[in-house]
Structure 1
Amino acid sequence: MIGRWQSICPTVRELAHPSLKARRGEKWTGSTACRDTMWLTLLYSCTGGAALLYALYRWLIPAAVQYHGGLALIWHDVIVEWILDTLTHSTRPQRLLSAVQKNATRGDPSSVVKAIDQFCRQKEWAMNVGDEKGCILDLVVSEVNPTFVLELGTYCGYSTVRIARLLPPHAKVITLEFNPDFAAIAHQVIAWAGLEDKVHLIVGASGDWIPKMKEQFGLNSFDLVFLDHWKDRYLPDTKLMEECGLLRQGSILLADNVICPGAPDYLDYVRRSSQYESQYFKSHLEYTKVEDGLEKSIFLG
């Protein structure tokens, strides 16, 4: 046993009695060699640990939560966002805007949509309607060919750009965002897409603004309403729009995230009410494999 240890740290006997080495005219380097070995071991351990953590963060955990809605939202929308906000001293909307300014062509709405989708798939998840459900949104907008669109929940302006770029001349999107920081980013994204003339961005609560829409904008009703704000506001805001006469016969409500995170009371209402003819479009939660979808509801009056 002693002989094995001596092969690593010269000899125990020489460490205990340096004078023995001095008699042979050798430098006493045993303790230095042990210390170097210790530091190398520590370095390798730290490097391996860092690589493992990166693999967990970048690939393993995202893959594991791909099919579970609750875990996906907690991981992407809470944990990762907090980590990146702390490390970069910025916010997710600010990072998204930087990606648009770096990768999208100014005045080209489609390049803005593409830049955001690339950012969300390759860099950092964000709560946009996403590319998959976005195609369904595009189809509905093209089918309705609306003159007046109300969007509840702007976030960073992704869906606003998707809608506005498909509108006929002189059509308008009125988009409502409660968070002023999100609205500030959305304004810049919309401007970068060159769609300022088609979009009116309002900062405030939906419950406060819906009753003022007719007076404020001189309109009778909306042809299309896209609901993508707080899920517990879908039903009360729909009923408020009915009370305020903002829905005409044939107006379309298109609601996002009706399965994940879900809006069960809203779904129950539009599916059971004789005032609506409703259709579900199955899809996935933005940039994941979690089941989600859009509910398209035609107001029958």
Structure 2
Amino acid sequence: MIENYIVTILVSFVIGSILVVVALVKLVKTNIHATMFWNEIVLEKITNFVMDQSKEQRILNTVSYNAIKGNPESVLDCIDKYCSKSEWAMNVGDEKGLILDKIVEETNPSVVLELGTYCGYSAIRIARLLKPKARLLTIEFNPEFASIAKEIIEIAGVNDKVTILEGHSEDIIPQLKKKYEVEKLDFVFLDHWKERYAPDTILLEECGLLRKGSVLLADNIIYPGAPEFIKYIRNNKHFECTTFLSHLEYMKVEDAMEKAVYLGPE
């Protein structure tokens, strides 16, 4: 009698465990929040512990071992393959990267500001399209990311056009004119903390860094979203906005980029 009771409990426990695992797998596959939690919190932390290195270091290793030195397209392709097949990472990615390419080519900028360097993926995408003597300043507050980005950008062979500024955007933007000799910005790519999109855009205006025709391009306006930025930019008569629908990098989740052309003050 007792043995039957124990067997029943064990069988129920096993079946329950299987059902929980199935439910978790289904949740991860169908819910973007669960997917990101699994990728960024659970799986990444476990992998970091086992391999004793960060995901960003693994991306650098992949580029170092597989990319063709001095070939930015090879570096971008290497990162895209790794992040789509092995570990998800917050690069702009190949799909939205084409939108970024198109707008950079249309703008043909001389001075570019990027907010959020991460591993240098988008800096490489932009820099490879810049005309001679054009420059890209990219701001990254995380020292590890900045260091890794520097190495990857050097491997891509575009380091002569890219300057990494380490620190917080709200501290560096007011220094751009005097310390970094930036008169006006032709193109700004926003891809850092989403809650900083709006205040940093306002800061760019207040510091007189935007000219008539300056182009701002903001990533991830749907996921994870930048509602305050969208509210500010679309209700501001000094900007003309266009939305480019796409998908979250390396996923089939809906996302978009917002282009805002500065029309200048009245």
TM-score, normalising length: structure 2 = 0.89
Per the alignment, in what secondary structure is the counterpart of residue 255 of structure 2?
A: strand
Contact 1:67 1:290 in 2 (8 A): no
Which residue identity is paired with 2:112?
V
Q: How many pairs are equivalent? A: 244
Return the alpha-carbon distance in structure 1 between the equivalents of residues 123 and 199 of structure 2.
22
The one-character-per-residue Cα deviations of 1:207-238 (angstroms, maximum 9, x if unpaired) are 10000101122221110000000000000000
1:67 & 1:279 partners in 2: Cα distance?
29
Deviations 1:97-116 (A, max 9, x none): 01101110000000000000
Residue 69 of structure 1 corresponds to 32
Is residue 204 from structure 1 mapped to residue 158 from structure 2 by the alignment?
no
Aligned-residue offset at 1:255 = 0.3
Check if 1:103 corresponds to 2:66: yes
Residue 271 of structure 1 corresponds to which residue in structure 2? 234
The 5 Å alignment of 1:1-40 reads: none
CA change 1:287–1:67 in 2 (3 A) is farther
- C-alpha change, 1:64 and 1:100, in structure 2 (3 Å) is farther
Counterpart Cα distance in 2 of 1:188 and 1:64:
37
Q: What amino acid sits opposite 2:216 in the alignment?
A: L
Which residues of structure 2 form unaligned runs of 5+?
1-17
Q: Which runs of 5+ in 1 are unaligned?
A: 1-51
Secondary structure of the equivalent of 2:211? strand
Q: 1:67 to 1:285 in 2, by over 3 A?
A: farther
- What's the % identity of the aligned pairs? 52
For 1:195 and 1:123, the matched residues in 2 are separated by: 26
Match of 2:137 among 171, 174, 179: 174
Q: In the aligned structure 2, how far is the partner of 1:290 from the partner of 1:169?
A: 37
| Cα deviation 1:279-300 (Å, max 9, x = unaligned) | 1111111111111110000011
Residue 246 of structure 2 is aligned to residue 283 of structure 1? yes
Where does structure 1 differ by over 2 angstroms across 4 or more consecutive aligned residues? 63-69
Q: Where does residue 3 of structure 1 map in the other structure? A: none
Shift of the 244–161 alpha-carbon distance from structure 1 to 2, 3 Å rule, reads same
Instruction: State the distance in 2 between where 1:199 and 1:222 align.
Output: 15
C-alpha distance in 2 between matches for 1:64 and 1:104: 35
Moved more, 78-87 or 256-265: 78-87
1:144 correspondence with 2:144: no
Per the normalisation by structure 1, the TM-score is 0.78
Give the AA of the match of 2:231: D
RMSD across aligned positions (CA): 1.6
Question: Aligned AA for 1:81?
Answer: E
